[in-house]
Amino acid sequence: MARRALISVSDKTGVEDFARELTARDWEVVSTGGTLAALRAAGVPATAVSDVTGFPEILDGRVKTLHPHIHGGILARREEGHLAQLAAHGIGPIDLVCVNLYPFREAVARGAAFQEAVENIDIGGPAMIRAAAKNHAGVLVLVDPADYGLALQDEVSQEDRRRLAAKAYRHTSEYDAAITAYLEGMGETAEALPGHLTLDLSRVAQVRYGENPHQPGAVYRLGSERGPVLDARVVAGKPMSFNNYADADAAWALAQELASQEDHPAGTRAVCVAVKHANPCGVAVAETGQTAWERARDADTLSVFGGVVAVSRPVDLAAAQAMRGTFLEVLIAPEVTPEAVEWFAAKKPDLRVLVAAPDANPGTLDVRPLAGGFAVQRRDARPWDDLCPEVVTTREPTEGEWLDLRFAWAVVKHARSNAVVLARDGVTVGLGAGAVSRIWAAERAVANAGERARGAVLASEAFFPFDDVVRLAAGAGVSAVLQPGGAKRDPEVIAAANELGVSMVFTGSRHFRH
């Protein structure tokens, strides 16, 4: 008796050639719907499932493979008792199941309406995949076109059959997780998170190791989301490391936030962000990408060494050559000209040069691991325009100080707490981040700035419990301060600012980042 293969796929990559090769090897191909039409159009002989079941597809195709003549043929063990039962009922064995599922995640990703999303929930497909995977000792199960070649071998080992079965169950479990997340998310609000949260993760990159060489590491996609770094093109340099991904993601996020400030100079100028260990270490805006890079580099030439750089504008040859004297790990930009790529490959072969994915949809959840679980929150995506900045001192900021305050606010929002940022003329001149004391963060920022603190502004991502930061800043020459406000001693802090002639603005919004 000829072996039988059931083929019903949404992703039709390579399926016609695969089915043609099966028929050349005397397999009978059984198929359904669109796959059947595609195979016949390609000249591949294929039997309709309805001819096997003796029952037509009904309910607009919702029911076509849920039938004993299909599932009996898949689930029967290749032993005398089960085979005898198949023969008694006129059921032929099915030896290969090649199925992948309706494009549910793709439909949701492109914004399909609820009813269309529901119609893309596959029922028969998962049932056939799971049945074949359960009976993998006698039935090959294929969910990935990359495995078609393996199925054409004369003999497939039990080890490979188990591997394909595991892959099949992963395929259906990820599919179910995506459906669960979608349906649970339908009732979400900006304030609430669902009672059950399923993380649908699929590996997209294997890295040499994690943060340290003794830690295995990999990078995963959450559902069907796309990330600007996760899906970036590496156009030059070495493969990305675990830490490269984390730092590039942090740098790009800040660069894009600054670039989105349309009424700020960053909205019409290039932005450059240098990051070291997930913290900004030099940020600047300028007329060109080259000048923005030079200003960001000069903000802290020591810390930028070995850093990760994001530029909001295309990087041309001049900008590339301006990076000649600085060792960097990663550069990410929306575009890198061919001349610049060629120069990087020749002069900086170890530098990873990335072109950010333009159609990213990184989602709204911020998920952090805990021992035994996760802490989950909405991303801190509050824009400046959502704030109501209030000048609480006698002296108001000048127009230039307002621009620098907004610039510094964006930077401090992306720095690790406790964080204080000093900025002047669209460039960071002092940063203190990740400190366990706010005064220590301020002292670090002021020391980092030195003489550049004179005429600079200061931003803090959290309120001041005392007036010590204001007095430190004023003593260094800082002219304006931005902070959330809301501390018990706010009146004392405001009084100190008025005494010292410093402008102070309350935003009413904290931006802790741990």
Final residue in a domain of this structure, among 355, 370, 404: 355
Q: At what angle do helices 124-134 and 158-185 cross, to 10 degrees?
A: 150
Distances (CA, A) of 103 to 100, 125, 175: 9, 12, 9
What residue type is assigned to position 380 of the chain? D
Q: What would the mean pLDDT of 9-32 be, rounded to a whole number?
A: 86
Show the CA angle centred on residue 424, arms to residues 417 and 429, nearest 5°.
Answer: 55
Looking at the annotation, which residues are catalytic?
134, 277
Residues 467, 491: contact at Cβ < 8 Å?
Answer: no
The predicted structure's pLDDT at residue 357:
94
Of 169-178, 193-202, 350-359, the one with minimum mean pLDDT is 193-202
On whether residue 232 sits in a domain, the answer given is yes
Residue 191 is predicted with a pLDDT of 57
Last residue of a domain, one of 131, 164, 185: 185
26 and 142 in one domain? yes
What is the percent of the chain where pLDDT is above 90? 52
| pLDDT tens by residue, 134-183 | 889 888 899 988 888 888 888 888 888 999 999 998 888 888 888 887 78
Do 158 and 34 reside in the same domain of the chain? yes
- Say yes or no to pLDDT of 119 above 90: no
Looking at the structure, do residues 155 and 248 belong to the same domain, yes or no?
no
Overall domain count for the chain: 3
Residue 214 included in any domain: no
Q: What is the pTM of this model?
A: 0.77
Residues 315 and 411 in one domain: no
Residue 44 structure tokens: 């591949």
Residue 190 has pLDDT above 60, yes or no: no
267-271 long-range contacts, Cβ below 8 Å, gap at least 24? Answer: 269/426, 270/311, 270/312, 270/313, 271/310, 271/311, 271/312, 271/313
Q: Which of 133, 154, 185 is the last residue of a domain?
A: 185
Residue 116 lies in a domain: yes
Tokens read off for 13:
């990559």
154/99 same-domain check: yes
**How high does pLDDT run on average in the chain?**
88
CATH number of domain containing 302: 3.40.140.20
Range of the domain at 295: 226-355
CA separation, residue 360 to residues 228, 252, 291, 357, 377 (Å): 5, 12, 27, 6, 20
At 427, the pLDDT band (50, 70, 90 cuts) reads: very high
Domain match, 10 and 159 both: yes
CATH number of the domain encompassing residue 114: 3.40.50.1380
- Report the pLDDT value the prediction gives residue 186, as an integer from 0 to 100: 60
Contact 20, 42 (CB under 8 A): yes
Q: Tell me how far apart the 2 most distant CA atoms of the chain are, in Å.
A: 98
For residue 291, being part of any structural domain is answered with: yes
Do residues 123 and 31 share a domain? Answer: yes
Q: Are residues 345 and 395 in the same domain?
A: no
Taking residues 51-79, report their average pLDDT.
76
Flag whether 130 is in a domain.
yes
Q: Are 65 and 75 in contact (CB under 8 A)?
A: no
| Per-residue pLDDT tens over the stretch 274-321 | 999 999 999 999 999 999 999 999 999 999 999 999 999 999 999 999
Nearest Cα to Cα of residue 410 among 218, 266, 232: 266
H-type alpha helices, 66-187 = 68-75, 80-88, 104-109, 114-119, 124-134, 148-151, 158-185
pLDDT 10s digits, 215-265: 999 999 887 788 999 999 999 999 999 999 999 999 999 999 999 875 555
